[in-house]
Amino acid sequence: MPPQSKMVITEIFKSIQGEGTRAGLPCIFVRLTGCNLRCTWCDTAYAFHGGKKMSVEEVLARVDELAGRLEMSGSEAAVPLVELTGGEPLLQEEIYPLAEKLLAANYVVMMETSGERFIGELPREVVKIVDVKCPDSGEPDTFEMRNLQALSENDEVKFVLSTRRDYEFARDFMLQHSLARRVQQVLFSPVFEDPQGKWPGLEPRLLVEWILADSLPVRLGLQLHKFIWDPATKGV
């Protein structure tokens, strides 16, 4: 990477982790700009364009500030959890040195990705939350199958579900590839209804009934931040 190379960042903010096995924990989010997919229910389309150019060092400094490391004047951060998200963070080459530097600074680093990009070049210590796009996402068959071998026992696989067809696809994919034995957690997340009516949601209770009927070893994933703040709120 050239010394002056910069990444494009939509926002960096402190909130609680809304999803996954660390849901509810304070977390610093680094949202990279740009995505090559267009899911029908995408709630972060504002990250497709625009953004601010920042060097890896500038991003690190902002993370340290939000995490409380600067105020503490020590090596430990008050908020040690960082999530790299987007958009699609793997579209920008600077994600690799950024992840390495965050790990070196003793952060727990998570990265959320669409599953369309190969995750195998990331440091193994990064916790990858890897989506598998279901049929009604509008982006079926985009999953990079090499990711199945690159997953580790610390990673998570997520299916965002909007219909019964999505559920059956996720169930069958999970069982076919023995995902529950490959990763820390398999997440089934119902689509949250768009506040402006652009897309319908999937009733969580209905999804729970399906999961229990099939005795699936999965975790229900609800977006906690959308219950705390207005679902359309940015930066949370």
Mind listing the pLDDT tens digit of every residue in the chain (236 residues)? Answer: 455 689 999 999 999 998 888 988 999 999 999 999 999 999 889 999 999 999 999 999 999 999 987 654 555 778 899 999 999 999 999 999 999 999 999 999 999 999 999 999 999 999 999 999 999 999 999 999 999 999 999 999 999 999 999 999 999 999 999 999 999 999 999 998 888 888 888 999 999 999 999 999 999 998 776 667 666 666 66
Bridge partner list, 157: 130, 186
Bridge partner list, 84: 30, 111
Residue partners of 82: CB distance under 8 A and separation at least 6: 27, 28, 29, 30, 63, 67, 102, 107, 108, 109, 110
Record the tokens describing residue 100, joined without a space.
């390495």
How much is the pLDDT for 193?
85
Cα 173 to its chain centre, rounded Å, is 20
How much is the pLDDT for 43?
86
Cα Rg for the chain, rounded, in angstroms?
Answer: 17
pTM for this model (two decimals): 0.90
How much is the pLDDT for 19?
85
CB–CB of 14/27 below 8 Å? yes
Which domains does the chain carry? 7-228 (3.20.20.70)
Task: Determine the angle formed by the axes of helices 56-67 and 95-104, rounding to 10 degrees.
Answer: 40
How much is the pLDDT for 75?
59
Q: Is the omega angle on the peptide bond into residue 235 within 30 degrees of 0, that is, cis?
A: no
- Which burial class, exposed, middle or buried, applies to 149 when counting CB atoms under 10 A from its CB (0-12, 13-18, 19+)? exposed
CA distance 44 to 50: 13
How much is the pLDDT for 194?
84
For the chain, strand residue ranges (E) read 7-16, 26-32, 52-54, 81-85, 108-113, 127-131, 156-161, 185-190, 219-220
Q: How many CA atoms lie within 13 A of 131 on its CB side?
A: 28
How much is the pLDDT for 172?
98
Residue partners of 57: CB distance under 8 A and separation at least 6: none
